[in-house]
């Protein structure tokens, strides 16, 4: 999974802003107010991306028979 912006995006409301990281280790969402360690927030975002990719990969792309 591409980890780009996972430490700036809120794992709760998905708001992304560079100001969501007031310090190197602190994450504080400017939209919903959730606060946690930056690495914990990023890992939740990566897990969500992974689950979405796994689900998309399992969906059939074969057209239905007519």
- Specify if 48 maps to a domain: yes
pLDDT (average), residues 21-44: 96
pLDDT value at residue 65: 78
In a domain, 45, yes or no: yes
Per the domain annotation, does 25 fall within a domain? yes
Which residues constitute the domain of residue 6?
A: 1-55
The label of the residue with tokens 């969402």 reads 29
Question: What are the tens digits of pLDDT across the range 8-28?
Answer: 999 999 999 999 999 999 999
Nearest to 6 by CA among 32, 33, 36: 36
CA distance 18 to 36: 15
Average model confidence (pLDDT) for the chain? 90
């Amino acid at each position: 999974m591409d980890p780009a912006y996972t430490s700036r995006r809120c794992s709760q409301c998905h708001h992304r802003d560079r100001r969501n990281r007031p310090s190197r280790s602190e994450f504080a969402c400017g939209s919903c107010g959730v606060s946690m360690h930056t690495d914990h927030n990023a890992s939740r975002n990566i897990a969500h991306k992974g689950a979405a990719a796994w689900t998309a990969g399992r969906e059939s792309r074969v057209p239905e028979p007519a």
